[in-house]
Amino acid sequence: MHACQRPLPCTVLALLLCLALCALPGCASKGGAQGPMPNLTRLAPRHLGEGSCVFVEVRGLNNGANEDLASLVTASLQSERGLVPADSRSEADAVVAIDVKDIYLCDTSGARLSGSQTLGNTLMGTVLGLGVGGIAGGRTGALVGAGAGALLGLGASAFDAKSDNTWAMVADVSIVRRGEEPAPEEHAVTAKGHGMTREESLAALKEQLAQDIVGCVRK
């Protein structure tokens, strides 16, 4: 009986190890588009004369958030660059077009984080617990160790969820004078806060994007 049962922990260990490796963030994210790395992109300088009329339009968020971001960028350009708000494209000397593509949780390098990381933590904890338990107490020890390891993995994921979160917002931004063809640039901004949710990050992300747009406008 024991001779038949002893290989089981090793077999399970091998299977769980394969699953854990597949669930690691680096493996899980290879198929997804990462986009520009936040804080590494810069908008090209644009020269707009002081007193020029500017119209700002935003897409990609809900209607209220689109209007808020458009108003924020318009007010910032008016106060910091002396531009005059226009009521429509046709009345504007220049148009700022913002198309928000994505908002996502990321790590410090800008790589997207996903739910697969929780699975990876849990599986790795299970694998380690299974291995240590198997060495210490055979089949029974392996099963107990696997359960304890899984709980530790879930605990690590729960701790991560309450730590500092970094959110990235990626948008196509174009600033064109009358008669020019739009040439959108992909731009990313980030916001960081303790346990910050997506909704809580929006205000900081919009503020940073507005400042980046103002920063690239030259008189």
Residue with the larger pLDDT of the pair 126 and 49: 49
Q: How many percent of the chain have pLDDT more than 90?
A: 48
* Strand partners for 47: 218
Average pLDDT over all residues of the chain = 76
CA 34 to the chain's CA centroid = 9
Rounded CA-CA distance 125/152 in Å is 6
Q: What share of the chain is helix, strand, coil (3-state, %, to 5)?
A: 50, 25, 25
β-strands 53-59, 84-85 pairing:
parallel
Other CB atoms within 10 Å distance of the CB of residue 195: 10
> What pLDDT is attached to residue 56?
98
pLDDT tens for each residue of 64-89? 999 999 999 999 999 999 999 999 99
pLDDT tens for each residue of 51-60? 999 999 999 9
What are the φ/ψ torsions at residue 178 (nearest 5 degrees)? Answer: -55, 130
Read off the tokens for 69: 């971001």
Instruction: List CB contacts of 143: < 8 A, sequence separation 6 or more.
Output: 130, 133
Pick from 212, 176, 191, 165: nearest CA to 41: 212
Pick from 133, 134, 124: nearest CA to 10: 134
> What pLDDT is attached to residue 111?
72
Q: Residue 133 — pLDDT band, cuts 50, 70, 90?
A: low
